Chain A
Amino acid sequence: MKNAVRLFALLAILVMALGACTPAATPTAAPEPTKAPEVAATEAPAPTDVPVEPEGPFRVAVVMPSAINDMAFSQSIYDALVRIQEEMGGPDKFEIVYSEGMFNVDDAAAAIRDYASQGFDLVIAHGSQYGSSLQEIAPDFPETSFAWGTTVDTFGQPNIFAYEAAADQGGYVNGVLAASLTKSSTIGVVGPIETGDAKLYVDGFKAGVAATNPAITVNVNYIGSFSDVALAAEAANTHIAAGADVMTGTAQMVVGAIGKADEAGALWFGTQSNQTSLAPKIVVASQVYHWEVVLSQMIELIQAGTLGGQSFSINLENGGEVIEYNPDYAVPAEVQALAETTIKGIIDGSIKTK
């Protein structure tokens, strides 16, 4: 009985104490819901085939698992949105808000729902682990468009776009380049866990190496973590000790491995972002994601009244994936030519990367 009283008292105090610090502030918090009117303007399906020009800015919210500056997965989408913003004429025309560090699936779900209820035009769930939450939230907000990556699954819902990166394509090209440049016939790969984008890239890379020279050994190390920079570095050391003179790796913790490759003078191939700045002497090329290619298609569709139901892929053909060379590393002409024919082959379908 006494406990019940204490409990109730605490709850009451808690509410009062927390409440006491806010009343003055409530008016300041108001600005966010004011955007409601223009939402109606953008989202009413266009009755004619003339796209409706939205009155306010196009509003995008993105939820991502790591930080916007991770030089990998999360940064790739944020940079793409910033590029679109520049193209569309700044924050007045294209508003971006983000939630970073949403590695926890429930937190991400809460963020997605909150953005949707605030009437954003497009809510991007940038992480394959968010799909399940999206499947649940999207039907409650039929006026809002959602995008989910990386995947191909829209759950058959009319307001979900799916997007993915054909990581295997750039991986394949990197593999061809790597196989042409190795002298020790041993290549090392450092990965996080054996799934998703990482696995796609690594498998494509291996296929590229094997197609160029089946005699080359590709050693793969998945270190079981997206954050353990030190272990990624040691995995690189292990590859070097095992005779590798060319390496690649994927996800944000590989920055540790790049340093070790640099120390040992082994060549490096990057993916997701351009990693040249991390080791200008040894980075040969990076597969860089340009999500803006598919994002701008989605935005056009949304403005024309289609809120989802389609699946997009960035790849070498549509320019969403670009092999960016390090200008300071001289790739032999015949090797570069081989890479170019490989890219052409992948685009016309004569080369299978999976």
Chain B
Amino acid sequence: MASDKHFDEVTGTETTGHVWDGDLRELNKPLPKWWLYVLYACIVWSIGYWAVYPAWPTMSDYTKGYWNYSQRAAVTQEVADAKAAQDKYRVALSQTPLADVGKNPELLQFALAGGQATFGENCAACHGRGAQGGVGYPNLNDDDWIWGGQLDNIQQTISYGIRSGHAKTRDSAMPRFGLDGALDAAKIGDVANYVRSLSGLEADKTAAGRGAAVFAENCAVCHGADGKGNQELGAPNLTDGIWLYGNGQENVVTSISTGRGGIMPAWDARLDPVSVKMLAVYVHSLGGGK
């Protein structure tokens, strides 16, 4: 036996006896036995998991474990708990008039947070994550409102939608002046020049002059004689710096020729009244609320 032993010269430690590449040896530094026992204890412990947690698949099901634990059940419970924790605020919100939510900082904070979450899930698809909108989809951050920017205006729009088919929907129709032959191309060009001149955009002055008469005759009934629009009818203000469908001459010509009429779904069937209320508060808070 003694001849089997080999000791490393530098450290004086016995080697394992294995030799690689002719001279490479491994020092034998045995682990303590308790370390091994800890490993065995961990294995025994882990077997306990089979017993208490879901572990083995069966033909049609799986072993449920002694604790009958399920992550799905746990998360359902957590969601229910979170809802229960929100109840206090939701009840208070349902009892608070919309205009008074802002007077209670705690309630306001809850409504803003809840509104933001609801917005992200339901509204962001069209209006964008930051409510910045896009061509044809209004930017909700700005101070220009087609159907009104007061809290109750916003709440109504969210609840019943715009041209949504809901009985109480906001509705109006802009005529297709070009397509339906009400105005010829020359008149449309003139009135487009006039409309652009209203907001200080570069326009052909002569054409705009001719367009003024066309405007008074065809457009002023909804958009107002001064072009400042009418929120009752969802007729946009044409004198400001915000253009939902673009402010280029060709954009305005298209709008007049084909008419415009965005559609927004009614949310009262999909969202509960408190969520709509929170959304209204949130949208109003984005900066343009009146």
Q: Do A and B bind each other?
A: no
